[in-house]
Amino acid sequence: DWTFNKKTKRAQKRTSEDTESKTMFAEFIMQPICNLYEAAYKYLDTDLLGKMQRQIPGWKDLDLQKLTAGATATRELSSRWLPFADCILEMATSHLPSPVDAAPHRLPVLCPKWFAPKPLANEIADGLQKCDPEATPVAYLAKFLSADLARLVLTDDTLVGDQDVDFVGICRVFSGTLRPNSRVYIGQDKPDEQERWLQVVRLFQLMGRNLLEVTEAPAGSIVACHVSSPDGAELGVERFLTLSGAENGPNFETPYSSQAFAIVRVNLQPNRVEDLKALERGLRLLHRADPSVSIEAMVTGENVLGCCGDEHLKRCTHDLQKLYARDVEFSVSTPLVAVRESIAKSVSMERLDPKGSVLWLPIWMSHLTDTSTEAGSVISGLHSDGGDDASDAPVQHERISMSPTAVMTVWTANRKACIKISAVVLPDSVLEWMDLKAEALEAVIHRQQASVELAGSSDGSLLGCLNEVETQFRMLQEQVEDTSFRICNGCDISLCGMSVVRGSRTLLMDGSGVGWKLQATSMFPLVVFRPQSISSAAGAEDSTGVYFDV
């Protein structure tokens, strides 16, 4: 928005009527770079380059007459004028915080169980905060890369010779000092999980694609680490690991987004049955090396590979053939299409006439008007409707039925219990909230882990995060104008379940008033509520039936 006035030698704000002057960024930064490319790439303009040479110190000892127009000359001039590596290194050292300064900001996000809202009082946590090289070693292995350890290079598209592929893990040391031949323990999500440990075989400093072996990696270092299991067995499908020198070390959060999902899914089958094990091993290695790949073993025995697109699929199949499953011939199926249903808005007339409705809500219940009266779908009730002539006539209860307002009623086979459930469209404000908090909600609801974003004013525990989710949901309920989103049959609607999977944003809400809460669903595998009794058509209480309104 600013331009330089050459007459007054001052910067001034551009007006809407000013269409001729250039911005200062375009004039002083982009224009010289464009002049360089025009003067050196297409044809050699020695006059223009000579004027620039007098202003660029890196060109003083350069003989412009010996240059030939093209990519080589452009690269030579650009590297002398604007050395990219030096610029990046200078910006990193000037503006990025040191490991010691960054620790108080990184640790609550990486390990909320230990550092949110306040750090634990133990030696390991204290060493992490201070980034102390003398403390207990803690390193975070964020990614595996395939490498040729004989030549000390990261592998390209193919391997040289007949050696097998090896992996090195790119890790950052947060405290202590890693050394070869040391034992490190793998951080666990739950304390009752079986203890696992690895052996640090070799440490490397990354020099581009080359590996320079080192004898130690103190706190703050970013190194490549070659690890092995104690029994020599191959590691599983872990893509990231928290390594600690103590058994009770921390476990950092995953760096990969849980909202990413495969766009293209194909089935891989070996041409020979005896190559099935080799193909499965190759898929495991590919899954470890590529964080955006998903591997599924279906109940039918199929191995489904999920990728981010067609080009990503080509790259994955190429890596399988050249790196991870060499000498294995396999076939790739056509892309598998996943059929998913969703809920669409409908109008009142569509609800009243399900047979003539195109968007019956919910869509998958539109057939009930044809099947709810078939044989066996109704039985006799135990109570009359209160009329004199019908005192001995049984009351007919449909096994499955749908009301004009799209409330589905399902009775159990013995007619002892009844469940009523309906599907409604979520308000836009609730969907926006779920999209905004998707990562934090996925951690709390699906992975049962505390999140700093949802800690609120609580102690940062999982129970406190669940309380914060319910509090934010109640605030959203108050903002929605439609009272049916807050009250059902005179009872407050409470949140008791949630799915934040991308493409399947769903809430489970309870309108029966029995006190079903999100904490009970998430913290306990089985919850028993006191059911409401059912009233017959005559108003008498039926003590043999139970009723849940969800």
Q: What is the pLDDT of residue 407?
A: 77
Q: What is the pLDDT of residue 465?
A: 86
Residue 396 has pLDDT above 60, yes or no: no
Q: What's the token pair of residue 241?
A: 């690991």
Provide mean pLDDT across the span 306-329. Answer: 86
Confidence label for 219 from pLDDT (cuts 50, 70 and 90): very high
Residue 365 has pLDDT above 70, yes or no: no
Packed helices 462-479 and 428-436: angle between N→C axes, nearest 10 degrees = 150
Provide mean pLDDT across the span 194-219. Answer: 90
Whether 99-244 shares its CATH topology with 264-332 is answered no
Q: What is the pLDDT of residue 146?
A: 83
Average pLDDT score over the chain: 77
Of the spans 330-344, 404-418, 497-511, which averages the highest pLDDT?
497-511
**Rounded distance between C-alpha atoms, residue 39 and residue 76, angstroms:** 13
Which range has the worst mean pLDDT, 54-63, 92-101, 229-238, 352-361? 352-361
Contact 70, 41 (CB under 8 A): yes
Q: Tell which wins on pLDDT, 332 or 412.
A: 332
Q: Tell which wins on pLDDT, 156 or 528.
A: 156
Packed helices 276-289 and 310-319: angle between N→C axes, nearest 10 degrees = 120
Which CATH superfamily, name and number, covers 264-332?
Answer: Elongation Factor G (Translational Gtpase), domain 3 (3.30.70.870)
Q: What is the pLDDT of residue 549?
A: 38
Give the closest residue to 217 by CA, choosing from 209, 230, 231, 227.
227
Side chain identity at residue 550, one-letter code: V
Please return the burial class of 141, using the count of CB atoms within 10 Å of its CB with bins 0-12, 13-18 and 19+. Answer: buried
Cis preceding-peptide flag for 362 (omega within 30 of 0): yes
Give the closest residue to 165 by CA, choosing from 290, 326, 316, 293.
326
Q: Write down the pTM of the prediction.
A: 0.56
Confidence label for 351 from pLDDT (cuts 50, 70 and 90): very low
Q: What is the pLDDT of residue 397?
A: 57
pLDDT digits (tens, 9 = 90+) for 478-521: 888 877 778 777 788 888 888 887 667 888 888 887 778 887 77
Domain spans of the chain? 2-87, 99-244, 264-332, 348-422, 428-533
CATH 3.20.20.70 describes domain 99-244: no
Determine if residue 176 is left, alpha or beta; phi over 0 gives left, psi from -120 to 50 gives alpha, anything else beta. Answer: left
pLDDT digits (tens, 9 = 90+) for 78-108: 888 888 888 888 888 889 898 888 888 888 8
pLDDT digits (tens, 9 = 90+) for 4-37: 888 888 888 887 777 778 888 888 888 888 888 8
Which range has the worst mean pLDDT, 247-261, 439-453, 464-478, 501-515? 247-261
Please return the burial class of 127, using the count of CB atoms within 10 Å of its CB with bins 0-12, 13-18 and 19+. Answer: buried
Place of tokens 């249903």: 341
Residue 355 has pLDDT above 60, yes or no: no
Beta bridge partners of 13: 2
Q: Tell which wins on pLDDT, 313 or 491.
A: 313
Quote helix, strand, coil % in the chain, to nearest 5: 30, 25, 45
Give the closest residue to 477 by CA, choosing from 451, 510, 503.
510
Q: What is the pLDDT of residue 171?
A: 92
**Rounded distance between C-alpha atoms, residue 194 and residue 156, angstroms:** 36
Q: Tell which wins on pLDDT, 360 or 443.
A: 443
